[in-house]
Amino acid sequence: MGEERSLHFLEEIVEADLASGKHPSIHTRFPPEPNGYLHIGHAKSICLNFGMADKYGGKTNLRFDDTNPVTEETEYVESIKADVRWLGFDWEEEHYASDYFDQLYAFALTLIKKGLAYVDDLSAEEIAATKGTPTEPGKASPFRDRSIEENLSLFTAMKEGKYDDGEKVLRAKIDLASPNMHMRDPIMYRIKKTHHHRTGDKWCIYPMYDFAHGQSDSIENITHSICTLEFEVHKPLYNWYIEQLEIFPSQQFEFARLNLTYTVMSKRKLLQLVNEGFVDGWDDPRMPTISGLRRRGYTPASIRNFCDRIGIQRRENIIDVGLLEFFVREDLNKTALRRMVVLDPIKLIIHNYPAGQTEILKGENNPEMEDNGGYRDLHFGRELWIESEDFMEEAAKKWFRLAPGMKVRLKSAYIVECTGFQKDETGKVTEVHCNYIPESKSGSDTSGINVKGTIHWISVDKAEEAEVRLYDRLFQVENPSQEEGDFKTYINPHSLEIISAAKIEPALKDAKQGEHFQFIRKGYFSLDDKLSTGGKMVFNRTVTLKDTWTKEVKKG
């Protein structure tokens, strides 16, 4: 569907820039801060940056925006690289903003020498308090007019560790009356005597985001620096630094971030869910992280198709998570192997099937594939497991499954007619009784009988067991971040259901990590790569089969 859509506004800009010769080719970057795992929102940015470079024959860098030593860790760097690769992208160059610390320091000296930066002794609080309001100019710091020599020697002393955290900052000297608060002498450097995940203890001053980002873009000759809308107000400052330093004129463009229903999308909030034990790590299958979606059974193609479909806009909105589910269903429908699994078993006994007799039937692996994806053996016998929800003691209106006197087809096998059932002392149904119709075998049915219902089953003799995990939305409300109070009060307490001993057909014993299955009538599943160890199999449900989106998407 990618070919059919019209150009989005960033593609129009790029095409115009290429046509006018402003840039001979484009160079984008994806600039995560390594302070958490990537989420589906980042996937939108990744698909956009790498996608445009691919489309127009350009290049994309992966740059870690690691200027804040307090929150950043190498574990995050590794996970980010793995996630970008898994999504199907490869970067031209790998960079770290921290590799530019020397260059950025030199840039700061340049601005001081031009009389465009000064060391301020005010505290962060005092600076904030004297910044004014959008309608009222800020007040000059008493240190604003320090001489260039004094600023050079104080800034050097800051770098050499002569001062403590918060004692001094370096500020750009721009315009205290600017209607844009970011232009009111923004802080360029602050003192943080903290170990950095790459530079160790070499530095005790660290550049602010605004003083690092544009210059890093410029050092890498990035032509189109694409970020989310909240950075629009930073753009005049982004341009100011580049102009004053007379370096490569990278340009910033903004698009709307992705928001999804029934989840949260900020790393800070996701970190709280991890740290406070609401989920089992960043890659918990309920998390909107790339690693969580992967573990849940999402495919890279489904995420890329989703990102392509939602498009790139200038206005923020919230996307229904059902759309993401639509794309993974669409992908898995074509590739997943069909298997039968009974989650809540009761026994079906076929009275007219001789005890001790068994036969091997054929089950299609995937009717959507050529040759139906081949066939697997289905072991059939007198006793089968069926879902307890496929039986009713008394058929309700429009009930087309099992109930006394009713007929159903056993998937890929025979038609059976229910003759009765048995209950235990507590009133629970323990056995369902039936007769089968020998001439109704799937593929060679001469019975002439039509039934409305088909149910799945597994032979009791050959059934194996596995744990199956069913997931629901992590939050009970559409937009937890916009509700009153702590977003965590809206967590869905029933977001995980564990079925410890589901009956699985023997073919599933060969399931491998990364394979996708459709458990007939139950949804799409894959093995959990963390929990399936030592012979134990744990299947995660990626998504149910129900699909309410096809129509909407086709309309779309």
What positions carry a catalytic annotation? 33, 257, 267
Distance, CA of 93 to CA of 61 (rounded, Å) = 5
> Which residue, 35 or 479, is less far from Mg ion as judged by CB?
35
Q: Considering CB distances under 5 to 8 angstroms, the limit depending on partner class, which of ligand ATP, Mg ion, none binds residue 521?
A: none
| Three-class SS state of 444 | coil
Query: Which residues have a Cβ under 8 Å from the Cβ of 37 and sit 6 or more positions away?
Result: 76, 79, 80, 83, 267, 270, 282, 283, 289, 290, 291
* CB neighbourhood size of 167 (10 A): 12
Stretch that binds Mg ion, among 31-39, 256-264, 269-277, 422-430 (CB under 5 A): 31-39
Stretch that binds Mg ion, among 27-35, 93-101, 320-328, 344-352 (CB under 5 A): 27-35
Q: Considering CB distances under 5 to 8 angstroms, the limit depending on partner class, which of Mg ion, ligand ATP, none binds residue 263?
A: none
Distance, CA of 368 to CA of 350 (rounded, Å) = 31
Environment class of 259 (CB within 10 Å of its CB; exposed 0-12, middle 13-18, buried 19+):
middle
Q: Considering CB distances under 5 to 8 angstroms, the limit depending on partner class, which of Mg ion, ligand ATP, none binds residue 516?
A: none
Beginning with the edge strand found earlier in the chain, give each strand of the sheet holding 496-504 in spatial order.
Answer: 337-339, 516-519, 523-527, 538-543, 464-471, 496-504, 341-342
Q: Do 228 and 255 touch, CB atoms closer than 8 A?
A: yes
> Which residue, 111 or 226, is less far from ligand ATP as judged by CB?
226
Strand intervals (E) in 210-279: 224-228, 251-255
Residues near ligand ATP (CB under 6 A):
31-33, 41-42, 44-45, 65, 227-228, 257-258, 265-267
Written as one letter, the residue type at 435 is: N
Q: Shortest approach of ligand ATP to residue 228 CB, angstroms?
A: 4
Total binding residues toward Mg ion, as defined by CB under 5 A: 1
Q: Shortest approach of Mg ion to residue 257 CB, angstroms?
A: 11
Stretch that binds Mg ion, among 25-33, 100-108, 302-310, 345-353 (CB under 5 A): 25-33
Stretch that binds Mg ion, among 28-36, 287-295, 435-443, 512-520 (CB under 5 A): 28-36
Residues listed for the chain: 556
Query: In angstroms, what CA-CA distances link 191 with 107, 169, 201, 384, 498?
Result: 17, 7, 12, 71, 49
Q: Shortest approach of Mg ion to residue 33 CB, angstroms?
A: 5
> Which residue, 308 or 383, is less far from ligand ATP as judged by CB?
308
> Which residue, 226 or 470, is less far from Mg ion as judged by CB?
226
> Which residue, 95 or 469, is less far from ligand ATP as judged by CB?
95
According to DSSP, the β-strands at 59-64 and 345-350 are unpaired
> Which residue, 97 or 340, is less far from ligand ATP as judged by CB?
97
Q: Shortest approach of ligand ATP to residue 219 CB, angstroms?
A: 17
Q: Shortest approach of ligand ATP to residue 30 CB, angstroms?
A: 6
Q: Give me 552's structure tokens.
A: 């909407």
Distance, CA of 76 to CA of 348 (rounded, Å) = 51
Q: Shortest approach of Mg ion to residue 208 CB, angstroms?
A: 12
Q: Considering CB distances under 5 to 8 angstroms, the limit depending on partner class, which of ligand ATP, Mg ion, none binds residue 42?
A: ligand ATP
Stretch that binds Mg ion, among 4-12, 33-41, 147-155, 506-514 (CB under 5 A): 33-41
Q: Considering CB distances under 5 to 8 angstroms, the limit depending on partner class, which of Mg ion, ligand ATP, none binds residue 266?
A: ligand ATP
Q: Which single residue brings its beta carbon nearest to ligand ATP?
A: 41
Query: In angstroms, what CA-CA distances link 136 with 123, 130, 142, 180?
Result: 21, 10, 19, 11
First to last CA, the chain: 11
> Which residue, 33 or 330, is less far from Mg ion as judged by CB?
33
Q: Shortest approach of ligand ATP to residue 232 CB, angstroms?
A: 11
Q: Considering CB distances under 5 to 8 angstroms, the limit depending on partner class, which of Mg ion, ligand ATP, none binds residue 343?
A: none
- For position 33 contacting Mg ion by CB under 5 A, the verdict is yes
> Which residue, 72 or 528, is less far from ligand ATP as judged by CB?
72
Q: What is the phi/psi pair of residue 119, to 5°?
A: -85, 130
Task: Kindly state the helix (H) or strand (E) to which residue 42 belongs, with its residue range.
Answer: helix 40-55
Q: Shortest approach of Mg ion to residue 285 CB, angstroms?
A: 25
Q: Which single residue brings its beta carbon nearest to Mg ion?
A: 33
Q: Do 264 and 40 touch, CB atoms closer than 8 A?
A: no
* CB neighbourhood size of 164 (10 A): 10
Q: In which residue are the tokens 């702590």 written?
A: 486
Q: Shortest approach of ligand ATP to residue 307 CB, angstroms?
A: 9
* CB neighbourhood size of 494 (10 A): 10
Q: Shortest approach of ligand ATP to residue 59 CB, angstroms?
A: 17
Q: Considering CB distances under 5 to 8 angstroms, the limit depending on partner class, which of ligand ATP, Mg ion, none binds residue 32?
A: ligand ATP
Stretch that binds Mg ion, among 32-40, 358-366, 452-460, 498-506 (CB under 5 A): 32-40
> Which residue, 258 or 293, is less far from ligand ATP as judged by CB?
258
Q: Considering CB distances under 5 to 8 angstroms, the limit depending on partner class, which of Mg ion, ligand ATP, none binds residue 520?
A: none
Query: Which residues have a Cβ under 8 Å from the Cβ of 383 and sit 6 or more positions away?
Result: 347, 348, 349, 350, 459, 460, 461
Closest residue by Cα to residue 508 from 472, 456, 432, 471 = 456
Q: Considering CB distances under 5 to 8 angstroms, the limit depending on partner class, which of Mg ion, ligand ATP, none binds residue 469?
A: none
Residues facing 420 on adjacent strands: 433
Q: Considering CB distances under 5 to 8 angstroms, the limit depending on partner class, which of ligand ATP, Mg ion, none binds residue 41?
A: ligand ATP
> Which residue, 32 or 297, is less far from ligand ATP as judged by CB?
32
Dihedral (CA of 282, 285, 287, 288) sign:
positive
* Interface contacts to Mg ion, rule CB under 5 A: 33
